[in-house]
Amino acid sequence: MPIPFGEKSRLEGRLRATHTTLLSPFDPLVWDRERASALWGFDYRIECYTPAEKRTYGYFVLPILHRGALVGRLDAKAHRTQGVFEIKALFTERDATLNDAALQAVAGAIRRCADWHGTPEVRVRRTEPADLLPRLRACLESPASLIRAGRS
């Protein structure tokens, strides 16, 4: 039986995940809820059809992929006419710890998404855990997040 593309390199430890991005709820990585749960322990569903008072994470939540791991999710809204990308809430997964480098990479992914939407100002309302909020805001304001987003 042939080995799937990339699998031999992965098994030999030569293939490493290096990117951080925000995923669409329709990304093949997460749209199959059972698979996402089995492979990554990531319980995910789109809550836009759930009444607001019954939502766990938010209206249209984007999973956060960091170096091959689903480390969190964020509820965001692009206010294009005001040029604001609002992060209503960012949640980390139970077993995910975002060190400074990981948080800087997440900030870069947020900036890229905000830029794509034409919303250069990013506002973060809340994070869980709460102590992540000042660190994330600082990362978003730092020159490193602008460089990671392709701005300099």
pLDDT 10s digits, 80-102: 999 999 999 999 998 888 999 99
Domains of the chain: 21-144 (3.40.630)
Instruction: Print the SS3 string covering the chain.
Output: CCCCCCHHHHHCCCCCCCCEEECCCCCCCCCCHHHHHHHHCCCCCCCCCCCHHHCCCCCCEEEEEECCEEEEEEEEEEECCCCEEEEEEEEECCCCCCCHHHHHHHHHHHHHHHHHCCCCEEEECCEECCCHHHHHHHHHHCHHHHHHCCCC
The pTM assigned to this predicted structure is 0.84
pLDDT 10s digits, 13-36: 666 888 999 999 999 888 888 988
Q: What pLDDT does 152 receive?
A: 46
Instruction: Report the chain's mean pLDDT, rounded to a whole number.
Output: 87
